[in-house]
Amino acid sequence: MFKKVLIANRGEIAVRIIRACREMGISTVAVYSDADRRSLHVALADEAYHIGGSAPAESYLNKERIIEAAKKSGAEAIHPGFGFLSENDSFADMCEKSGIVFIGPSPEAIRLMGDKITARKIAHDVKVPLVPGSDGAVSDVEASVIAAEIGYPVMIKASAGGGGKGMRLVRSKDDFESSLRMARSEARSAFGDDSVFVERFIERPRHIEIQIIADAEGNTLYLFERECSIQRRHQKVIEEAPSSAISSRTRKKMGEVAVRIAKAVKYKCAGTIEFIMDQSQNFYFLEMNTRVQVEHPVTEMITGFDIVKWMIRIAAGENLPFKQKNIVMKGHALECRVYAENPETNFLPSPGVIEYLRTPSGPGIRDDSSIYNGSEITPFYDPMLSKLVTWADTREAAIKKMESALREYIVLGVKTNIGFLIRTMGDDEFRKGKIDTGFIERHPELLKPSAAGTEKALIAAALSMSSSERTDTQSQKPASNWKLFGRRSGVSRSPSL
Amino acid sequence: MFKKVLIANRGEIAVRIIRACREMGISTVAVYSDADRRSLHVALADEAYHIGGSAPAESYLNKERIIEAAKKSGAEAIHPGFGFLSENDSFADMCEKSGIVFIGPSPEAIRLMGDKITARKIAHDVKVPLVPGSDGAVSDVEASVIAAEIGYPVMIKASAGGGGKGMRLVRSKDDFESSLRMARSEARSAFGDDSVFVERFIERPRHIEIQIIADAEGNTLYLFERECSIQRRHQKVIEEAPSSAISSRTRKKMGEVAVRIAKAVKYKCAGTIEFIMDQSQNFYFLEMNTRVQVEHPVTEMITGFDIVKWMIRIAAGENLPFKQKNIVMKGHALECRVYAENPETNFLPSPGVIEYLRTPSGPGIRDDSSIYNGSEITPFYDPMLSKLVTWADTREAAIKKMESALREYIVLGVKTNIGFLIRTMGDDEFRKGKIDTGFIERHPELLKPSAAGTEKALIAAALSMSSSERTDTQSQKPASNWKLFGRRSGVSRSPSL
Amino acid sequence: MTYTFKIFDQIYKITLEEEEGQLRVELDGGSYAVDFQKIEDNLYSFLIDGKSSTMGVFRKGKKVQVFLDGDLYELEAVSEREQRKTSHIVSGIQEIKSPMPSRVVKVLKGEGDEVALDEGLIVVEAMKMESELKSPIAGKVKSVMVKEGDAVELGTVLLVVSSE
Amino acid sequence: MTYTFKIFDQIYKITLEEEEGQLRVELDGGSYAVDFQKIEDNLYSFLIDGKSSTMGVFRKGKKVQVFLDGDLYELEAVSEREQRKTSHIVSGIQEIKSPMPSRVVKVLKGEGDEVALDEGLIVVEAMKMESELKSPIAGKVKSVMVKEGDAVELGTVLLVVSSE
Residue A11 host element (H or E) = helix A11-23
Q: What share of chain A has pLDDT > 90, as a percent?
A: 79
Domain co-membership, C48 together with C117: no
Cα distance between residue A391 and residue A369, in whole Å: 17
pLDDT of residue A345: 87
Q: Kindly state whether residues D71 and D95 are assigned to the same domain.
A: no
Q: What share of chain A is helix, strand, coil (3-state, %, to 5)?
A: 40, 25, 35
* Closest Cβ opposite residue A366 in set B363, B408, B478: B363
Q: How far C30 CA lies from chain A's nearest CA (Å)?
A: 10
Pairwise CB contact (< 8 Å): C50 & B373: no
Q: Kindly report the average pLDDT of chain A as a whole number.
A: 91
- Asked if C27's CB is within 8 angstroms of A455's CB, the reply is yes
What pLDDT score does A25 carry? 96
Residue B161: pLDDT above 90?
A: no
Segment of B105-109, C36-40, D143-147 carrying the highest mean pLDDT: B105-109
Is it the case that residue B232 has pLDDT exceeding 50? yes
Chains that touch D (3 or more CB pairs under 8 A): A, B
Which residue range forms the structural domain that includes residue C13?
2-82
Q: What is the pLDDT of residues C67-78, one digit of tens each?
A: 999 999 999 999
> Residue A182 is which amino acid?
M
Position C87 pLDDT exceeds 70:
no
Give D 102-141 residues with CB within 8 A of chain B: 102, 105-106, 120, 123, 125-132
Choosing among 3.10.129.10, 1.20.1070.10, 3.30.470.20, 3.10.20.90, the CATH entry for B206-456 is 3.30.470.20
Asked whether the beta carbons of residue A38 and residue B485 sit closer than 8 angstroms, the reply is no
Helix (H) or strand (E) holding A483: helix A481-484
Q: Compute, in degrees rounded to 10, the torsion defined by CA atoms B260, B264, B265, B270.
A: 10
Strand extents, DSSP E, chain D = 2-7, 10-19, 22-27, 30-40, 43-48, 51-60, 63-68, 71-77, 93-97, 102-107, 114-115, 120-126, 129-134, 139-144, 151-152, 157-162
Q: Mean pLDDT, to the nearest integer, of B170-178?
A: 91
Contacts of B367 in chain A (CB under 8 A): 361-362
Residues 35-64 (B) with a CB less than 8 A from some CB of A: 35, 37-38, 44, 50, 54
The segment(s) of chain B belonging to CATH 3.30.470.20 are 206-456
Q: Do chains D and C have 3 or more beta-carbon pairs under 8 angstroms? A: no
Identify residue D94 by its one-letter amino acid code.
Q
Q: Residue D39 and residue A37: Cβ atoms within 8 Å?
A: no
pLDDT of residue C35: 94
Of the residues D82, D99, D127, the one at which a domain ends: D82
How many distinct structural domains can be found in chain D? 2
CA distance B174 to chain A (A): 39
Could you tell me if D77 and D99 lie in one domain?
A: no
Fold of A4-103: Rossmann fold (3.40.50)
Query: Does the pLDDT at position B176 exceed 80?
Result: yes
Distances (CA, A) of A83 to A291, B91, B315, D72: 9, 59, 50, 39
For residue C39, give the nearest of B30, B38, B482 by CB distance: B38
CA triple A102-A103-A108, angle to 5 deg: 60
Instruction: State the span(s) of chain A assigned CATH 3.30.1490.20.
Output: 132-200
Least confident piece of the model among A29-43, A184-198, B63-77: A184-198
Enumerate the residues of chain D whose CB falls inside 8 A of the CB of residue A373: 40
Q: How confident is the model at residue B26 (pLDDT cuts 50, 70, 90)?
A: very high
Same domain assignment for residues D121 and D60: no
Q: Which of A133-137, A162-166, B55-59, C144-148 is the least confident region?
A: A162-166
DSSP secondary structure letters along A316-347: TT------GGG----SEEEEEEEESEEGGGTT
Are A258 and A222 in contact, with CB atoms under 8 Å apart?
yes
Question: Do the Cβ atoms of B482 and C101 come within 8 Å?
Answer: yes
Burial environment of residue A253 by CB neighbours within 10 A (0 to 12, 13 to 18, 19 or more): middle
Q: What is the CATH number of the domain that holds D25?
A: 3.30.700.30
Of D18, D23, D69, the CB nearest to B422: D69
Interatomic CA distance for residues B458 and D14, integer angstroms? 7
**pLDDT averaged over every residue in chain D:** 86
Q: Are D121 and D108 in contact (CB under 8 A)?
A: yes
Tens digits of per-residue pLDDT, A417-436? 999 999 999 999 999 999 99
Task: Give dist(CA B235, CA B237) in Å, integer.
Answer: 6
Residue A119 and residue A130: Cα distance in Å, rounded?
Answer: 11
Report long-range pairs for A318-321 (Cβ below 8 Å, ≥24 apart).
A318/A1, A318/A215, A319/A215, A319/A216, A319/A217, A319/A219, A320/A213, A320/A214, A320/A215, A320/A219, A320/A221
Q: Which of residues 44-83 of C touch B (CB under 8 A)?
A: 45, 47, 50-52, 54
CB-based contact B406:B418 (threshold 8 Å) = yes
**A402 interface with D at CB cutoff 8 Å:** no
Span C88-138, pLDDT tens digits:
445 678 888 887 778 898 999 999 999 988 788 998 887 767 778 888 788
Q: What is the mean pLDDT of residues A271-285?
A: 94
Give the Cβ contact number of residue D9 at 10 Å. Answer: 6
Give tens-digit pLDDT for A162-195.
667 788 899 999 999 999 999 998 888 888 889 9
Confidence (pLDDT) at D95: 85
Q: What amino acid occupies position A194? A: D
Catalytic residue, from A120, A291, A313, A395: name it.
A291
- Give the C-alpha separation, A88 to A111, whole Å: 8
CB contact under 8 A, A348 and C69: no
Question: What is the DSSP secondary structure assignment for residue C39, as one 8-state letter?
Answer: E
Residues 6 or more apart whose Cβ sits within 8 Å of residue B432:
none
| DSSP H or E stretch at residue D84 | helix D80-84
Find chain A residues with C-beta within 8 A of B378's C-beta.
480-482
For A20-109, strand residue ranges (E) read 27-33, 47-52, 77-79, 101-102
> For residue D80, is pLDDT > 80?
no
Q: Any bridge partners for residue D102, and if so which? A: D152
Q: What angle do CA D148, D129, B449 make, to 5 degrees?
A: 120
Give the whole-angstrom CA distance, residue B462 versus residue A462: 48
Whether A65 is catalytic: no
Q: How many CA atoms lie within 13 A of C30 on its CB side?
A: 11
Q: Which residue has the higher pLDDT, B209 or A473?
A: B209
Give the model's confidence band at C29: pLDDT under 50 very low, under 70 low, under 90 confident, else very high.
confident
Is A237 a residue whose pLDDT tops 70?
yes
Q: Does the structure show a pLDDT above 80 at B287?
A: yes
Last residue in a domain, options C32, C53, C82: C82
Q: Kind and range of the H or E element at C60?
A: strand C51-60
Among residues C82, C112, C143, the one where a domain terminates is: C82
CA distance A384 to chain D (A): 20
Report the alpha-carbon distance of residue B343 to residue B419 in Å, rounded.
9
| A465/C72 Cβ within 8 A | no
Give all chains having 3 or more CB-to-CB distances under 8 Å with chain A. Answer: B, C, D
The DSSP secondary-structure symbol of B152 reads S
Query: A444: which residues sit within 8 A by CB, 6+ positions away?
Result: none
Q: Are D66 and D122 in a shared domain?
A: no
Helix or strand (DSSP H, E) at A274 = strand A269-277
Which residues are within 8 A (CB) of A289 and not within 5 positions of it... i.e. 6 or more apart? A82, A87, A162, A271, A272, A274
Q: Chain B residue closest to C51 (CA)?
A: B47
* DSSP annotation string for C114-150: EE-TT-EEEEEEETTEEEEEE-SSSEEEEEE---TT-
Q: What is d(CA B495, CA D37) in angstroms, rounded to the nearest whole number?
A: 10
**Stretch A265-283: mean pLDDT:** 95
Report the relative pairing of strands A341-342 and A332-339 from DSSP bridges. unpaired
Given an 8 Å threshold on Cβ–Cβ distance, is B494 in contact with D36? yes
Categorize the per-residue pLDDT at A488 as very low, low, confident or very high, splitting at 50, 70 and 90: very low
Q: Does A352 sit within 8 Å of B358, measured CB to CB? A: no
Q: What is the pLDDT of residue A218?
A: 95
Write the CB contacts of D47 (distance below 8 Å, at least 6 apart in sequence).
A42, A48, D34, D35, D36
pTM above 0.90, yes or no: no
**CATH 2.60.40.1120 correct for A132-200:** no
Which of A142-156, B290-304, B363-377, B465-479 is the least confident region?
B465-479
Residues B1, B101 contacting (CB under 8 angstroms) = no
**D104 and D34 in a common domain:** no
Q: Is the pLDDT of residue A1 over 80?
A: yes
Neighbours of D38 (CB within 10 A): 19
pLDDT bin (cut points 50, 70, 90) of residue A483 is very low
Dihedral (Cα; A374, A380, A382, A386), 10-degree rounding: -10
Beta partners for C77? C5
Nearest to B456 by CA among D71, A72, A385, A212: D71
Q: Name the band, by pLDDT with cuts 50, 70 and 90, for residue A198.
A: very high
Which CATH number does the domain housing residue D145 bear?
2.40.50.100
User: C120 and C77 share a domain?
Assistant: no
Q: Are residues C49 and C67 in the same domain?
A: yes
What is d(CA A446, CA A442) in angstroms, rounded to the nearest whole number? 9
From CA B400, how far away is CA B4, in angstroms rounded?
A: 41
